[in-house]
Chains A and B, each alone.
Chain A
Amino acid sequence: MTQSPESNGHDAKEFGDHRIETGQGQPIGMVIEGSVANGVEVRLDSGVSVEQIKVGTFVTIQGTGNRFFGVVTDVGLRSTDPRLKYTPIPVDDPFVIDSLQGTVAFGTVSVLPQLTMPEVLGEGEGPAAAKSIPSHFSRTFTASQRDVETVFGSESDGNFWIGSPLDMETKLCLDLGELVKRSMGVFGKSGTGKTFLTRLLLAGIIQNGEASSLIFDMHSEYGWQGQDTDRGVAVKGLKQLFGAKVSTFTLDEEHSRRRGVSTDETVQLGFNYIEPEDIELLLESLNLSDVAASAAYNLSEKYGQEGWLKEFLAAGRGGSLLELAEELQVNAGALRALYNRMGRFTRHGFMVEHSRTDTAARIIEHLERGQHVVLEFGRYGDDEAAYILVSNLLTRRIHRKYVEAKESSMGGAGKEPRPLVIVIEEAHKFLSPSVASQTIFGIIARELRKYNVTLMVIDQRPSGIDSEVLSQVGTRLSCLLDNERDIDAVLSGTPGSRALRSVLARLESKQQALVFGHALPLPVVVRIREYGPKFYETVGRGEDSEEERKRKVEELFGG
């Protein structure tokens, strides 16, 4: 017993010197109690101040048979004598204070052991979920770079470097292959860096080449270039970074030209592609009644899928709405409202009575070639109805195509369609509980990866997203959120959400995100990597990844 302070101090020195060779971090203390449910309590060594340990830091615990990897969830002050707080202590005597600190009064950290790490790496053995806890007096260390690499994978293994853990310079990597297998969500208050994080992820996905992506770019931030509103400088968009790998489509050619941005194609939507389901989705944004929306179904029954909108608008212009209402047995007022709203809506520049090119087909072509498509909305981005309609319409057709391709590949005819990530902003508009069951995005989110199509939803009000959909979002990246309901929504269905709550509410307002879910072995707070010239250099070499090269060869030679 009398030995412990001395021997602790000794260990600290010894390990401190050999830190790099042993691959262990710095020793901080030893386990004194705990349980699997609540994690373990670690008593800090006398030389370690509680102020050095931050919530969210990674630690390793060397048990007798296993090495555990965990995260600090709480830091506390304890004393051996409960009377300490009532006993006057000569605080001005450093000698007395030094003697008490670390012996009678000491710091503790609560650690949640998440993984057990194999003693020897390789041989197909990786970290596994911890089902036990380390024994008493196990030494605890801060996690070293090697530990973090073991757990999250290293950049050299083809993972994407997204940032660093708190208080560490280690590169924290994401397995993009896993990431795109399930839907993902990027959440955070406005101005917390969602767009930058998304741009980073997309750059990673493009570089990695395992999946194609389709980005509905509401505010024209991803294609050619974006703005860093804090510093007032322009940042490179995906097209600038990746050149031919990215195609930009625009709804608003004029807007693009004004910005001096060249786009690959201009999107025009024919009336013939609009379906009654689309109208139903627009109820809220166009302020239509249910009756009006169901009238659209009646109209499409009467005039047929292809021409109903055109015929309807023509009938309206001809002044025969009343007769039409009678014929369809719908409320004349509702029909008029529908006519008015659709009339206004179809005056948008990208709407044409009959489009010659099938935009959806063009986009699919690009995607099948392994390209990534950014659809810029230009000034229509502020028009909620336009955004919802266009993205829903295109996505529905693309999804249908993917379902066909997947089914025929299952039947042995044709190859598996390339995984696709569809990026939508303001996701709660598509996925709110009232419309999630109808929109194609709701279906994609629920059907998951069966058809190789997944979603990346970007939103600042996750509480507005249907909980059923949200539960299917595999990997969540959340920047700062302060609304209680939003935090609840983001953390719903996550084990240990109570501990994560405090972490999420304490994130810094910039460049920090809590990342958790399918693609990571454990939740982690990430200091997001800088999106700037240094980043451009690493991705801008234009080299194809291994998979990408293989895929191209296959495509060329029909492998």
Chain B
Amino acid sequence: MGGLVRTDSPEIYAVVGRVATEPLDSTRPVLARGEDADSEEDVIRDNPQLARLLTARFEVYIAGHVENGVIRQYLPPRPPRVHSFVYACSPEEVSLFTARLDLLRLLLNSGAPHADEIVGACIRQAASSHEQPDDFRAHACRTLAVELAGDVARLSSLLRRISP
């Protein structure tokens, strides 16, 4: 969670907001298995069908896109196409994209039930991609302080998540 991903053509950036392992068929809930197994590996080995029945899905919140070679931190005019390939961003891409932090506002207002968690995770992860992680963190916190100027309690709890 909080990682930055992107699609190709059109180039759209997004932050991972929810990751889940689910059954492919939603009418068949996952049951607990392996009462007698010694380790988790044993469970997988004894139930080889699991890998076919379960899948990992993640939801992302769009944080910006590239328009004529310029990074725009607002929503793109069109969503990415279905079946677009999604790539995890390299540290260089992360540091380039997070040079500006307008995406924080986008994330805070995304309507995600745990938006603060996403923002905190995003800043923590992005910081490690920057050459000066502390400077980036301080800059991000000041940006947050401006965004959440009217809600000190929320801001303070968010800052504590980011605080090294």
Contacts and interface: CB of A to CB of B under 8 A. Distances in A.
Nearest to A80: B149
Contact of A90 (B139, B150, B160, B162): B160
Interface of A: 1-2, 4-6, 46, 79-81, 83-84, 87-90, 93, 95-96, 98-100, 102-104
A81 B152 contact: yes
Contacts of A96: 141, 156, 159-160, 163
Interface string B138-159: 1101111111111111011001
B101 interface: yes
Contacts of B159: 93, 95-96, 99-100
Given A87-B153, A89-B156, A95 B163 contact: yes
Q: Report the contact-size class of chain B (Cβ under 8 Å from the partner).
A: 20 to 34
A10 to B, nearest CB: 12
A93 B163 contact: yes
Contacts of A83: 151-153
A7 B155 CA distance: 22
B138 A99 contact: yes
Contacts of A6: 139, 142
A90 B146 CA distance: 18
B117 interface: no
A99 B149 CA distance: 11
A5 B143 contact: yes
A99 B146 contact: no
Contact of A93 (B146, B149, B160): B160
B72 interface: no
14 contacts: A1-B146, A2-B104, A2-B146, A5-B146, A6-B142, A80-B149, A81-B149, A84-B152, A87-B152, A96-B141, A99-B138, A99-B145, A104-B145, A104-B148
Contact of B156 (A46, A87, A103): A87
Q: Which of B145, B162, B163, B164 has the most CB of A within 10 A?
A: B145
B102 interface: yes
Contacts of B153: 83, 87
The 6 closest A-B pairs by CB, nearest first: A103-B145, A99-B141, A80-B149, A95-B163, A81-B152, A96-B159
Residue picked from A46, A81, A89, most chain B C-beta under 10 Å: A81
Contacts of A5: 142-143, 146
B105 interface: yes
B26 to A, nearest CB: 40
A83 B153 CA distance: 8
Contacts of A4: 146
Contacts of B145: 99-100, 103-104
A2 B143 contact: yes
A99 B147 CA distance: 12
Given A84-B152, A98-B138, A103-B145, 5 more contacts: A89-B156, A93-B159, A96-B141, A96-B163, A99-B145
Given A81-B151, A99-B142, A90 B156 contact: yes
B39 to A, nearest CB: 41
A81 B150 contact: yes
Contacts of B137: 95
A81 B139 CA distance: 20
B120 to A, nearest CB: 13
Nearest to A88: B156
